[in-house]
């Protein structure tokens, strides 16, 4: 029963659509209505409002971190195992992808996955973040950076994490990240992918 509760609560935390909430607070258009249509920080940044994008990023990453840390903190009291903490990480990530508040649709999960990784192990989170930053700085494609980080995450997890349950959760998140970025992969191949910081009108002008 405790395992079921952990999964459900984590899923609901992940379902909180910070991109939509922050956009409404700032009087911006719904992020699902422009650019990539993705309710995430990178798309919010296309409005030119950097603060809104930053708050979205922090919210999405924060919910991943909170779900894992909450499960870890409650583990001694409720007898939760490492598998339950790993489940919390995957469930909060899945909630972001399929938010109950957005008709079971959602974002691509990059920031939330990062928060989960930091919850599993801060050094793992930093290592994967370093991969993302390096690729993003070199090529200015958020999607390419996400794919590179998703590729590196399971390998780094094998090296840096001792629990097989955590590594399995990381691998599952990486697979789903690739699946959610299938359209971006096609755009990268065709040279139509938008770069970081490109505003929504610029993105719309791409052939």
Handedness of CA 106, 188, 29, 57 (dihedral sign): positive
Return the half-sphere exposure (C-beta side, CA atoms, 13 A cut-off) of residue 119. Answer: 31
Look at residue 204 in the predicted model and tell me its pLDDT.
45
Listed by start position, the domains of the chain span: 2-198
Nearest to 121 by CA among 86, 83, 172: 86
The helix, strand and coil proportions of the chain, stated in percent and rounded to the nearest 5, come to 75, 0, 25
The pLDDT assigned to 105 comes to 95
97-140 pLDDT, tens digit per residue, is 999 999 999 999 999 999 999 999 999 999 999 999 999 999 99
Q: What is the pTM assigned to this prediction?
A: 0.93
Q: Would you state the pLDDT for residue 199?
A: 62
Q: For residue 99, what are the β-bridge partners?
A: 105
DSSP string, 65-98: HHHHHHHHHHHHHHT--HHHHHHHHHHHHHHHHT
Those residues of the chain that have pLDDT short of 70 are 197-207
144 touches 96 (CB < 8 A): no
105 φ, ψ to 5°? -115, 165
């Amino acid at each position: 029963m405790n395992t079921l509760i952990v999964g459900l609560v984590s899923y609901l935390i992940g379902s909180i659509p910070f991109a939509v909430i922050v956009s409404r607070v700032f009087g911006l258009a719904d992020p699902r209505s422009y650019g990539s249509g993705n309710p995430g920080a990178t798309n919010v940044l296309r409005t030119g409002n950097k603060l809104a994008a930053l708050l979205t990023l922090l919210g999405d990453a924060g919910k991943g971190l909170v779900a894992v840390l909450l499960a870890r903190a409650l583990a001694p009291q409720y007898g939760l195992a490492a598998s339950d903490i790993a489940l919390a990480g995957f469930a909060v990530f899945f909630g972001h992808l399929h938010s109950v508040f957005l008709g079971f649709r959602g974002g691509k999960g990059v920031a939330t996955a990062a928060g989960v990784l930091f919850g599993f192990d801060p050094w793992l989170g930093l290592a994967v973040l370093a991969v993302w930053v390096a690729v993003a700085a070199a090529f200015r494609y958020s999607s390419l950076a996400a794919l590179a980080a998703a590729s590196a995450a399971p390998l780094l997890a094998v090296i840096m994490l001792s629990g097989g349950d955590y590594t399995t959760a990381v691998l599952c998140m990486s697979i789903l990240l690739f699946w959610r970025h299938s359209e971006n992969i096609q755009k990268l191949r065709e040279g139509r992918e938008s770069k970081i910081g490109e505003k929504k009108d610029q993105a719309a002008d791409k052939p």
